Every structure is written in structure tokens, then in C-alpha cells.
Homo-oligomer: A and B are copies of this chain.
């Protein structure tokens, strides 16, 4: 169920060597006004209120290569992150070096929310491919929220949705058998890509079988077998880097609780 972390298993206390932790990152100014995702990640602007909110941040965009960390467990929290491109995973690494994927983040989604309470990140956030995030300094966000009721209620909704989403994850991974979990996972990903204007039947799978398995609480062999079976039955077309859903309706029906 647990999978060995593929990166060298250094002791947790020494997992952040002296090298700059984000050496490969390149920060540069970001502009929300030209971003394809602006209608997704921030409230639509019924009043000029929200536009002001958007303009008020001095956000930056940070590019990350495959395997690069946005943050690591234990680091102080000071920013939220919005996926602009690529896919990220949130993972917790146990003392024994086993890693458990907590969540995947696709474009338009905000992560790092769980660190607000503690002021400290409780997990690693890792890019699974060539990716980019918008950096949203929390202090600026808070300052802006106090001036913008629209933004305030938006943030409450985002946080609340985070709770609801995790409950859905619990539901999915505890209630049903392995096959339904995999189908439910694909169905969920499909919806999330559709929400940002991507085709819902072609899922770019940036994560490995092992990572999917960890997320779903299965072994990677089981995931592989289930995908293989589904491909043979014509439900899916499985390629190394992407999964095509041949019959989305059937998939969703099969994933029903």
C-alpha cells in the first residue's frame, strides 16, 4: 500500500540539504489578465470589485521541472499556489521513506490551503511534469480580502470546497472495490479537465501507476491490471502518457457507488 519514495530516502530531518531547495525554479512576473485560467481561479467580476482584487496582487509565476518541489513538509507557509500548467502531487513521506499521495492538482486548482491553519506545510508538493504555478502571497491575499467582500466569499467557498473534495476522496477510497476506485479516479479527473475547457475523454496522465495506486490506496500492480482489463474491454485506451476514455458514460456508471 505504501510505496517507496523514488527520491533518495534521506532522514526526514536532513531532507532539505544546503543547496537552494528550488534551484531549478525560474520566477517571473505573471499577469492574470492574459491568463487562460482567469475565469476559473478567480471570481468572475460582477462588479469592478473583483477586478481590483485581481490587479492588486504582485503575483509571480514559477516554473518547475519534473520532480521539483513547490514546497516541502515543515517549510513555513507564506503563499498559496495556483496551478497554471502541468500537474502536481501532494505527498506525505513517512519516517521509513514510504510516500503516500494525498492529492493531485491540475490547472486552475489552488493548493497549499491546508497550511494556513498551522502556518507550516505538512506535506511535499511536487511537479509531475514541466509545470508552472502562480504564487499568491498569503499576506497580500488577506489584506485584499479585508477590502473585497467578493474575494472574501470566494475564498471561503474555495476552502469549503477543499473540505468537501477531501470528503469525496474518503468516500471513494473507502467504500468501493479497487475497480470502482480507479474508474472513479478517472471520472473525477475527467470532470476536472472538462471544467477548464479540456476534452473530458482524453486524460493526460502525468502520474505513474505507482502514484495513482498510492493515491487510491492500492498496489500499482492492481491499478495496472484494472487499466489493462478496461482497455481489453474497450472502455479505455491506455497509452503510456495518456488515457483515452472510450465510453465516458459507461465509466461513470461503473464508478457509481
Asked, given contacts A166-B166, A173-B173, A257-B94, whether A158 binds B117 with beta carbons under 8 Å apart, the answer is yes
Q: How far is the CB of A105 from chain B (nearest CB, A)?
A: 13
Q: Is A6 an interface residue (CB 8 A)?
A: no
Give the interface size class of chain A.
35 or more
Contact with B along A110-121 (1 / 0, CB 8 A): 000111111000
| Shortest Cβ distance from residue A124 to the other chain B in the assembled complex, whole angstroms | 13
Is the CB of A163 closer than 8 A to any CB of chain B?
yes
A151–B238 CA distance with the chains assembled, in angstroms? 50
A173 — nearest CB in chain B belongs to which residue?
B174
Whether A152 touches B145, Cβ cut-off 8 Å, given contacts A100-B175, A171-B92, is: yes
**A147 and chain B: residue at smallest CB distance:** B146
A113 touches B175 (CB 8 A): no
Contact with B along A156-170 (1 / 0, CB 8 A): 111111111011011
> A114: which B residues are within 8 A, CB to CB?
160, 163-164, 167
Chain B residues within 8 Å of A156, by CB: 116-117, 142, 155, 159
Question: Is A175's CB under 8 angstroms from B2's CB?
Answer: yes
| A100 engages B1 (CB within 8 Å) | no
Is the CB–CB distance between A116 and B169 below 8 Å? no
Of B95, B160, B170, which is within 8 A of A116 by CB?
Answer: B160
Distance, CA A143 to CA B39, complexed state (A): 26
Contacts of A164 in B (CB 8 A): 114-115, 117-118, 122
5 interchain residue pairs of minimum CB distance? A174-B217, A166-B166, A116-B160, A117-B160, A159-B159
Which residues of A approach B to under 8 Å, CB–CB?
Answer: 1-2, 92, 94-95, 98, 100, 102-103, 113-118, 122-123, 142, 145-146, 149, 152-153, 155-164, 166-167, 169-171, 173-176, 216-217, 257
